[in-house]
Amino acid sequence: MDLLNQHSNRSNPLGEDFDYRKEFSKLDYSALKGDLKALLTDSQPWWPADWGSYVGLFIRMAWHGAGTYRSIDGRGGAGRGQQRFAPLNSWPDNVSLDKARRLLWPIKQKYGQKISWADLFILAGNVALENSGFRTFGFGAGREDVWEPDLDVNWGDEKAWVDSPTP
């Protein structure tokens, strides 16, 4: 029965009436993008940026979030901020992405519920691409966070992933 009650508004820690669209409309989007751009070159001693830039780390984070999308059933992807939770956050392919999320934490605190984690992950990747000279098609916001991991994620045995040879 737990599967049927996943992500119910009744258990939403932000309240049953939380409206992400309304909160996002209050966001100073230009300031947020400016903060993300500044973060790209703000190397931290606990996780130094590669050659003075976190561009690659944030592009990788966005890519790995989107890469979980399954076209067969429309589940997964970057749409709900699931990368924060197990088992996705501990997959071998996602190694060190916890550092990217930690780097984003002060920005998330600053803007609060006006930006979801899911949107922040993808926007950080977009800003990184744009800062590298790539012309994006823009940014489409609207990814609402979930507040607990999906219970029906079964991507196979992680031990099998770790033990399997790489090409």
Identified catalytic residue from 36, 61, 64, 84: 64
Q: Catalytic: 7?
A: no
SS3 call for 20: helix
- Between CA 86 and CA 153 the distance in angstroms is 9
- Between CA 52 and CA 44 the distance in angstroms is 10
* Burial category of 104 from C-beta neighbours within 10 Å (exposed 0-12, middle 13-18, buried 19 and up): buried
Q: What is the dihedral of CA 78, 79, 82, 83, to 10 degrees?
A: 20
DSSP state, residue 79: T
Catalytic residue set: 64
